[in-house]
Amino acid sequence: MTNLMKTTSLAALILLFSGCTNIIDDLNGPIKPKVDNSIEIVNYNSIKSIPDMANIGFEWEKVNDPRVVGYNFYRTEIDKGSTELKLVKSIDNKYATHYVDKELEPKTRYAYQISSRTADGTESKTTDAYIVQTLPRIVPVEFVQAISNLPKSVKLVWRPHTDKRVGYYRIEKYNTLLNEWIILKTVKERLQVEYLDTGLDDNTSYKYRIKAFSFDDVEAAPSKTVIAKTKPLPATVNNVQATNNQPKKITVSWEASTTSDVVKYAIYRSTFSAFGYTKIKEVNASTLQYEDTTENTGKTYYYKIIAIDKDGLENSSNSVQGMSFNSLSNPTSNLAKIELNKNYYN
């Protein structure tokens, strides 16, 4: 391990520890540690450390005093002006010479002092203060793009983070009902830089941001917020008409949708105006008329024309009524004409 920073005395912590070289004397815990000056002290010059963003790894030489069974680690946070020193770890084996202090704040200075400990809990004097600083946070994801005009979805792409300590990304989406950011997805590979948010409402805007996380779950600041809008539905067809003067058929016609990527139309029919529609035909975008043949004259149907774009998005027209023409609409009158003719020939 490499030695980040050492002090041979408490000079750097005079204000913090009031000039004391043994922090055990200043501990204010419910039980004051018992100190025996004859117990061998950990060699300060043997202490080495490797800092990360939220962890610091330590190494030291074991003591040879046969009474020693382990070590105590004490810590305080310098950058917050803390004067409270806490026992953060008791190591129960004198042959253990490594320890990792976890869940620390990034870019923060900490002071440590170590004591040797006997079986009855008696401690040696502590080492002088050993000061080490954690590394700064990972920088935010620099480039993020949200791609608009996709059917019921938004595509997010971003540049792979250059810091190899990045273990994963978290995609967050703004919830307009809760007025807060919510976790949308965790992407577990540093080089995986694409995500599709699907099942969205049409013609609706959404906001996103991305956070990078280290392997030990330290988060970077969020990326910039990006906004994308889903594709709108195609425009409905206009001027839908249905005939009522043709025997045993109804001709339905319409004007084309103004949306450029409409590829076809679907004709739906029902015997009721408000419900019960089923698809009876699909035609291409250049076809603007359809003849619906009926078995009986005088049959009434309701029609809707659905515009369908290249992505399968659909939009329906209002319903229109059509009726096949009944050539025998007045059977009583026709029967009377037959009777007259019979009398004439008699």
For 220-272, the pLDDT digits (tens) are 999 999 999 999 999 999 999 999 999 999 999 999 999 999 999 999 999 99
In whole angstroms, give the CA distance from residue 297 to residue 109: 92
- Of 273, 275, 268, nearest to 308 by C-alpha is 268
Q: Which residue has the tokens 């149907």?
A: 301
pLDDT in tens, 171-220: 999 999 999 999 999 999 999 999 999 999 999 999 999 999 999 899 99
Banded model confidence at residue 31, pLDDT cuts 50, 70, 90: low
Question: What is the three-class DSSP state of 26?
Answer: helix
pLDDT of residue 83: 72
pLDDT exceeds 60 at position 30: no
Tabulate helix, strand, coil % of the chain (nearest 5): 10, 45, 50
3-class state of residue 291 by DSSP: strand
Task: Provide the whole-model pTM.
Answer: 0.74
Is the pLDDT confidence value at 5 over 80? Answer: no
Cα–Cα nearest to 237, from 310, 318, 313, 311: 318
Residue 278: strand pairing partners: 269
Distance of alpha carbon 118 from alpha carbon 219, whole angstroms: 40
Residue 49: closest CA among 101, 119, 8, 9:
101
Q: Identify the weakest region by mean pLDDT among 12-21, 62-71, 128-137.
A: 12-21
Average pLDDT, stretch 9-24?
Answer: 41
Quote the CA–CA distance of 301 and 172 in Å, as a whole number: 50
Give which of 123, 116, 77, 112 is closest to 94, Cα–Cα.
116
Task: Say how many residues make up the chain.
Answer: 346
Q: What is the pLDDT of residue 185?
A: 98
- DSSP H helices, the chain, are 14-17, 331-345
Whole-number average pLDDT of the chain: 87
Q: What is the DSSP letter of 271?
A: S
Strands 68-77 and 86-91: antiparallel
Query: Hey, what are 20's tokens?
Result: 């004391």
* pLDDT at 296 (0 to 100): 79
Look-up: residue for tokens 């103004």?
Answer: 258
CA 69 to the chain's CA centroid: 49
Taking only the tens place, the pLDDT of each residue in 63-99 is 999 999 999 999 999 988 877 789 999 999 999 999 9
State both tokens at 61.
Answer: 């030489």
Model confidence at 9: pLDDT above 80:
no
* Residue 176 identity: T
Residue written as token pair 């001709």? 251
Distance CA 269, CA 242 (A): 11
Q: Which DSSP helix (H) or strand (E) runs through 169?
A: strand 166-175
- CB-CB neighbours of 152 under 10 Å: 16
